[in-house]
Structure 1
Amino acid sequence: MTAQLTHVKAPQGVAPGTGYSHVVWGTGRFVAISGQCAFDEDGRIVGEGDPAAQARQVFENIRRCLASAGATFADVVKLTYFVTDVAQLPAVRAARDEVFAGEHLPASSAVQVAALFRPELLVEIEAFALVGEEN
């Protein structure tokens, strides 16, 4: 069962964002997904030097992590993006748009960092979700 979530794209007095909700709330079982990077199931980096390929792999890893908790992208309430260059954000957003659709977008933050824990990595994303009580 998917949690009942409420998304507020733009609270009164706050300019609407593009591709995210400013506020998301609901009830259910809380699920925290550690920051995911572009590793395949054998621990090899996918898409070295390619932010689009890395972002797609990161979202695939998040999908698998969510599934292990009985959740889907529809249950995600918050994403935090860590990128080594904000110029990579369009590629990350394109990958996000492949898995999130419609008006029910999670709250989001994006942070440019000096580096991730391996120099080949360009993006890391963590996720928080609420899953319906019956899962």
Structure 2
Amino acid sequence: MPLEHIDPPTLMKPMGYTHVVAATGARTLYVAGQGAFDAQWQLVGPGDLEAQARQAYGNLLLALEGAGAGPEHIAKSTMYVVGLEQAKLPAVMRGIAAALGGRDARPPASTMVGVERLAMDGMLIEIEAIAVVDA
């Protein structure tokens, strides 16, 4: 496995992320921010954060698949959420879980950032990632 997940016992128990991920693989993938668009550039789930999180994370998984990787290879992810507040966290997490479809993968080191808006009108979330695979 090209990643080592580390959660020091001296830190609080993480919920949905890992405190430290050490990359031991040889090939690093940088995945551009993925929004909730289908292959025809139609926004999926206008006004629905959970639906957009599911589509955006699904797009991230498709991008990784195209490079020969999967969710288990994600070392770091950053999620940008319009108008982020604590009450929106469950919708994001449900959307990601739905996109994973029961696949078992340790959560990566992750940061969620609240933003005023994203590049395209109607976008509520954008997710980027760094993944590591063996050469």
TM-score range normalised by the length of the shorter chain:
0.7 to 0.9
Q: CA deviation at 1:103?
A: 7.0
Q: Give the equivalent residue in structure 2 for 1:7.
A: 5
For residue 56 of structure 1, give the secondary structure of its aligned residue in structure 2: helix
CA deviation digits over 1:83-128, x for unaligned, max 9? 0122432111112223276572100001000111123010001011
TM-score by length of 1: 0.88
The structure 1 segments of at least 4 consecutive aligned residues displaced by more than 3 Å after TM superposition are 100-103
Matched-pair contact (CA < 8 Å) for 2:71–2:105: no
Tell me if 1:109 matches 2:106.
no
Give the alignment partner of residue 73 of structure 1, picking from 71, 91, 94. 71
Note the residue ranges of structure 2 that are not aligned, 5 or more in a row: none
Identical-residue share of aligned pairs (%)? 39
CA deviation digits over 1:19-63, x for unaligned, max 9? 110000122210010111011000111100011111111011111
Q: CA deviation at 1:73?
A: 0.6
Aligned amino acid, residue 116 of structure 1: L
Q: Give the equivalent residue in structure 2 for 1:51.
A: 49
Q: Give the equivalent residue in structure 2 for 1:82.
A: 80
For residue 116 of structure 1, give the secondary structure of its aligned residue in structure 2: coil
* Closer/same/farther in 2, CA of residues 16 and 89 from structure 1, 3 Å limit: same
Q: Give the equivalent residue in structure 2 for 1:121.
A: 123
Aligned amino acid, residue 13 of structure 2: P
> Considering only aligned residues, what root-mean-square deviation do their CA atoms show, in Å?
1.7
TM-score by length of 2: 0.88
Q: Give the equivalent residue in structure 1 for 2:18.
A: 21
Aligned amino acid, residue 45 of structure 2: G
Aligned amino acid, residue 80 of structure 1: T
Q: State the alpha-carbon separation in 1 of the partners of residues 2 and 129 from structure 2.
A: 17
For residue 80 of structure 1, give the secondary structure of its aligned residue in structure 2: strand
Q: Give the equivalent residue in structure 1 for 2:93.
A: 93
Q: CA deviation at 1:81?
A: 0.7
Note the residue ranges of structure 1 that are not aligned, 5 or more in a row: none
Aligned residues: 130
* Closer/same/farther in 2, CA of residues 95 and 115 from structure 1, 3 Å limit: same
Aligned amino acid, residue 94 of structure 1: R
